[in-house]
Amino acid sequence: MRNKKFTNVLTLGFALFAMFFGAGNLLLPPLIGVEVGSNYFVAMLAFGLTGILLPFTGILSVVFSGDDFNDLGHRINKHLAAILGTIIMVCIGPLIAIPRTAATTFEVGLKPFFPEMDPLWGSLVFFSVTLILAIRPSKVVDVIGNYLTPVLLVLLSLLIVIGIVHPTADFIPSKLTMMESFSKGFVEGYQTLDVLASVIFAGIIIAAARDKGYTDTNSKSQIVIVSGFLSTTCLLFVYGGLIYLGATSGVTNPAISRAELLIEISRNTLGHYGLIAIALCMGFACLTTAIALTSAVGTFFGRLTNGKLSYTVLVVLCTLISFGLSIKGVDEIINFAYPPLAFVYPITITLVIYIVLFGKIVKSKTPYVFALIASTIIAVLGLLKLLGMFDDATVTSLNKIPFFAYDLGWVVPSIIGFVIGLLMDKLKK
């Protein structure tokens, strides 16, 4: 029995790691290392908050609320799950994350070996495999956890360990302050989309746990939490290693693309074999994430439409849209993604953090609603700032909001909103 449980933890934990670890997770950390240089440890902690701790919190928030994101949203408002869930699924699905997986696979995994290859053909092959494996959702977790992830982890570990033991260069002196380095790591963690994905992936892992016989609340929660802890441990090792490799890469060109930087690090670390290793890593990382996200999109919108759109139709439609957008290229997709992510991230983070911290002791919806309203207002202001809608004087005034200048302006207002909600509840009573 213990051996079976241990095997199930490995399968679910590795599957969750692979679902989280996609294109952005492999591309973003090295560039952070280049930009923060000797402040890499501070940036690593900050990136770990948005790329590791908060996604794990997202899983916990769903586990504490029920079986999927709908149960989490209903803790606050019956319409929240549908509205916020739709925004999240569009972002982590066909609009940003899935196209990025294919574009990254082409630029890092195929282009170095086939420089004349049309990205159209690379995406066609990628999404053909994604569609075949995602069309049977019951097999998604086992295929990813048992077969694809172990290979990915071995290759990444080889690259990171050799890079740490034999660094290419010394740490680059940082031009950023500690706070700027922290902000850089924290905000770049948005681009992983893992907090958004966590509240969706939690439902997939919970369903897989039920299929393996963990049907009662305690055993189901325990297996999912332990599996989540395993995946976060793997992510911490990989992210820390990749940021370290970027900080000791010797690369000083700030204009270098993320794909070129990753290829340069791999070549310097393992020579020609490094290109092969990173190509395989990228292929496995992006494929596992694309399969999981495509499956999640089909499941979510199938339930949202009460089965009027079948899972198969939604998966095919998601694949076709993602295929069309994937040809734009990695950097263009990442640059396009930042404004919508900067808007939806504070709202989602507020939801999962407050549910995990206070969900068992604060049953009233009012404090959570006020915290979300405060975060939403700040998120709208931040989005307008990013789009250049404010003049310098307005931006200066907004920067007086604590941490607003570092894109963390939602933190204090959400706390104030939550406290106001608590006081209103007490006054009513």
Q: Which two tokens mark 357?
A: 């911290």
What's the confidence (pLDDT) of residue 414? 93
> pLDDT by residue (tens digit) across 250-308?
887 767 877 788 888 888 887 777 778 878 777 777 887 788 888 888 888 888 888 88
Which three-class secondary structure state does DSSP give residue 355? helix
Average pLDDT, the chain: 83
Q: Is the four-CA dihedral 80, 84, 89, 90 of positive or negative sign? A: positive
Residue pair 58/198 in contact (Cβ under 8 Å)? The answer is yes
Closest CA to 259 of 51, 86, 27: 27
> pLDDT by residue (tens digit) across 384-407?
888 888 888 888 888 888 888 877
Model confidence at 376, in pLDDT bands (50, 70, 90)?
very high
200 pLDDT above the threshold of 90: no
**Amino acid letter, 170:** D
Give 1's DSSP letter: -
Model confidence at 222, in pLDDT bands (50, 70, 90)?
confident
Among residues of the chain, what percentage have pLDDT more than 70? Answer: 95
Residue 407 C-alpha from the chain's centroid: 18
352 pLDDT above the threshold of 60: yes
58 pLDDT above the threshold of 80: yes
Residue pair 188/47 in contact (Cβ under 8 Å)? The answer is yes
Instruction: Name the CATH topology of 1-341.
Output: Amino acid/polyamine transporter I (1.20.1740)
What's the confidence (pLDDT) of residue 378? 92
Q: Cα separations (Å) of 205 from 109, 237, 291?
A: 28, 22, 14
Cβ count near 175 (within 10 Å): 13
Model confidence at 146, in pLDDT bands (50, 70, 90)?
low
76 pLDDT above the threshold of 70: yes
Residue extents of the structural domains in the chain? 1-341, 362-428
What's the confidence (pLDDT) of residue 140? 56
> pLDDT by residue (tens digit) across 111-145?
888 888 888 888 898 999 888 888 875 555 556 65
What's the confidence (pLDDT) of residue 55? 86
> pLDDT by residue (tens digit) across 227-249?
888 888 888 888 888 899 888 88
The stretch 164-185 carries a mean pLDDT of 83
417 pLDDT above the threshold of 90: yes
379 pLDDT above the threshold of 60: yes
User: How many angstroms separate the CA atoms of 196 and 203, rounded?
Assistant: 13
User: How many angstroms separate the CA atoms of 152 and 20, rounded?
Assistant: 13
